[in-house]
Structure 1
Amino acid sequence: MLQSIHDKAKGILGIIIVAFLALVFGLWGIGDYLTGATEKFVAKVDGVEITQSQFDQAMARQRQRMEQMFEGKIPDSPVLQQQMKKQVIDQLILQKVMLKMVADEGYRVADVVLAERIKSMKAFQQDGAFDNNSYQAVIQSQGMGVKEFENLFRSDLAVQQLQDAVTRSAIIGQAELNILNQIQKQSREVNYLQFDDISFLADINISDDQIKEYFEVNGARYKHPEMVSISYVELTADDLAKDLPVDDKAVRQLYDDYVSSLSSKEQRKARHILVALAEDADAETKKQKKAIIDDLLNRVNKGESFEALAKENSEDPGSAPNGGELGWVSKGMMVAEFETALFKLKKGQVSEVVKSNFGYHIIRFDDVKSENIISFDAKKAELVKQYKSQLIEDGFYEKSELMATTAYENDQSLQEVADALGLEIKTTEAFSRTQGKGVATNVKVRNAAFNSDVISEGRNSDIIEVEKNHVLVLRVDTHTEASPKSLDEVKHIIESAIRVEKARETTMAFAKEAMTKLEQGESIESQSVQNSAKLIKLGSVKRDNTSSSQQVLSKAFTMTKPVEGKSVYKIVELSGGTGVIQLKSVTPPEQATTAELQVLAEEFRNEQANSDISVVLGHLKSQSEIVRSEEL
């Protein structure tokens, strides 16, 4: 199927979905694993539900991105809010379609591949190697279990396989590549006039009739959100840390473990002389070999050079030429008999004869590398903290189990939970599905509070892991359905919306008039002065320029090339007004190097693959049964 659609998609530059592929599982989050058994859905794709919780998580992430875009405050625009909702639902629907496509095409990720990819992730490593404790901790901090994470990551890798397969199928010829280079790398000399909406806002008068008419048409957009307030019992590590006793013997054991761990990391520089002996050697051979090693030890002890004796007599071909030098040795590197003897020696000391399965050894300990061992008194405060942390870790698990069991067995009240754990019942003010204060800033808490079973049946929630060593259970105190806002409540919002629309109409009119005069030969400088418009001179820019308005650049690179030095003009809508672009000239690029053309070819293949996958998704979406909730 992919090949047939790829053939139809040649040359189509459709929706770019790299961001979608990257965000699929960011939007998804872990909602599939945290939602309750009964929950409202916002859409269905071939019978597979997109739940309210999944939508709320995706909306929360979208809001975060929008807040960054608008520097902390999203405009209070019902149109923008509706656009955000539609965009998020569309993305979630595409996610379901994408995962179905991956399954239908037979993309699978083997366990060994999954394991290798997980082990290679730096977030799960300590000192450059995979660390299972770090793995568990990072996953738990995200409110997941290991199985849930691995299932999600496996799906993500399968999607990447699909994208890679389509990317490899995209082909571009040399002639096409040269043309693409001419288009992509050319420079354009661009200036533009900017007419700001804000300059006209104060002069626009809005009548009550205009506001009323707007409300009659768009009133359904303005609603009080569904709200709940909750009671909850929370358990944190701090609750367990109060008055925690300290066992001096346990702390001393931790110190001994610390000393042992440093000893295990110690490295010793050593030399040896080996008289090899087969394990099945007869008694006479053993006697002869033992006599040889005893004689060598006697000569060493009388002061002969260890290095010279090793060179002449050692039967270890790896170290004998270097005077028996073995380099730096750590515990676990040598056979047990050799290691035991070496790590009993003092620096500069020579061992007695040591027997191993290789034969007879004489060992000399030359140097040592080790970490300084901190005294018990200097280390004690840290060890006490470590001891308490372990007690808290163990106790927290037990208390969490007690909380979960008690809340389930007494699901009509939190009092039993509070009594069992010696904790207080806390409350919140009302909050919505997307915003709250205090504990309700956490999306998992909000999702649990709006679970339909918790609301309709008045029962306690399941236990919620807010973050590591912080859990809670909750129940809903008050619940208010979403309701329409009155005209009086939204009058100021509507007035602002109309004012913005009128201001945009005004800037558009000024821009059209200015463009007419520019095309008649007037200078852009004179039009800037006459209309009190900003004149921005970008100069020579390329498509990938990031310091200029992307709206202006995108439009400028679609404009017709100027002929005989005569500028061309085009109107562009800006985020805060309207602009008139002047394109003065187009400069072709220099001949690209082979390396530059290779990079361009790779970019083309990725873009072509994105386009192809977009066509595939569009086709599959059109063939899917999609049901959207009427409430959104």
Structure 2
Amino acid sequence: MIDRTLHAARRTLHARHTLLGLLAMAVLMLPAWSQAKVQMLDRIVAVVNDGAIMASELDERINTIALQFQEKGQQLPPPAVMREQVLDRMVLERLQLQLAERGGIKVDDASLNQALAGIARQNGMSLEDFAAALRQDGYDWPQFREQIREDMVISRLQQRSVASRIQVTDREVDRFLSSELGKQMFQEDFHLGHILVRVPAEASPEDVTQARSKAESIVKKLNDGGDFQQLAVAESDGPKALEGGDLGSRPAAQWPTLFAENAINLQKGEISEPLRSGAGFHILKMIDRKGGSEKVVTQYQVRHVLIKTDALTSAEQAHKQAIRLHDEIAAGERQFSDTAAEFSDDPGSARSGGELGWVNKGEMVPEFEDMMLNTPVGELSPVFESQFGWHFLRVDDVRDADMSAEFRRMQATQALQKRRFEEELETWVQEKRSESYVDIRL
């Protein structure tokens, strides 16, 4: 009797353990099943070479841009238009990030934090307050950080691929300054709106005719009172379509030649006729025009150390050496000038203890300029990378200088460089997209 009872108890206990085990397994499996179900609901909306853009990524970006529209009090475009415009931008970004990864272009946390601190200062905040303000406005701070990092990576790629090939000679600057167009262009700043009707790289005559007709139709709508921002969002293939086509304001001489030569005769509020370029048909709006730039400019007295890679020094070794030298200077174990003279791979400045003299905005590559502008006087910058190698710098002083003729010449050089860069960049982006495999699956 006792044996039978014990046997029954064991069977009951075994059954209970089995049931509890099955229940536990079911509970443990529920999250995985739920996650699998969520993943099944996600889908690919675009294939870019060997990468993919998921619907969830597209939705996140649309939500972020929708917040920006709401902050500006702008009307959201129709959902289908918004998805198409945002996805097109994401495809171009993903393509360039792939190229950057292949080229070994990265932005480390120190450089990213320095850039974010600069953005915060421009808004009159500390980095912590800036992050808190973004969170309060509904932005995801880690996602915002990574978006800025990706923007910096793309900028470095563009500088390496396009800007490094652009050269402006003294003779070209002289010719530009003496031309009537050059004289007029330094008198005003143009604030332009832009709509692009893209024409494919290998377009047929029928494609070109169709694009021209579309551009002419848009111009007619605008001249009949259509809203430029809404039409730009809905119809433009340009990089600033989602910003209502607003390209911002800059000195007239810095706009691409096609824009500058045609905008110079536009009055405030006027619309240009369709302008043909290799990318397609452009429509410009003169949002505003104001008097020319001031002759007083801010200059920075900078010194730096550059460590290059070569046949004997890998990128990792150069990076580690730059960090070691930087940290030894920061700890007071080395003098900056002695370190530059002994170790810097920039022969022009190494002989002067890394001294670059007084530097104006626009003279240095973007990575160097960003670090220069965001490093307080007397402090060491973090180690950062440019197309030339690994740097760190120190800003010794800042001053305002009246440059007069020298400033005018510098502005002319920068204007020609910027103009050519944007013309070359437009062609380069179009070429890279045509060379890539892109499959849109909206």
Would the TM-score normalized by the shorter structure come out above 0.5?
no
TM-score by length of 1: 0.27
Q: Determine which structure has more spread, i.e. the larger CA radius of gyration.
A: 1
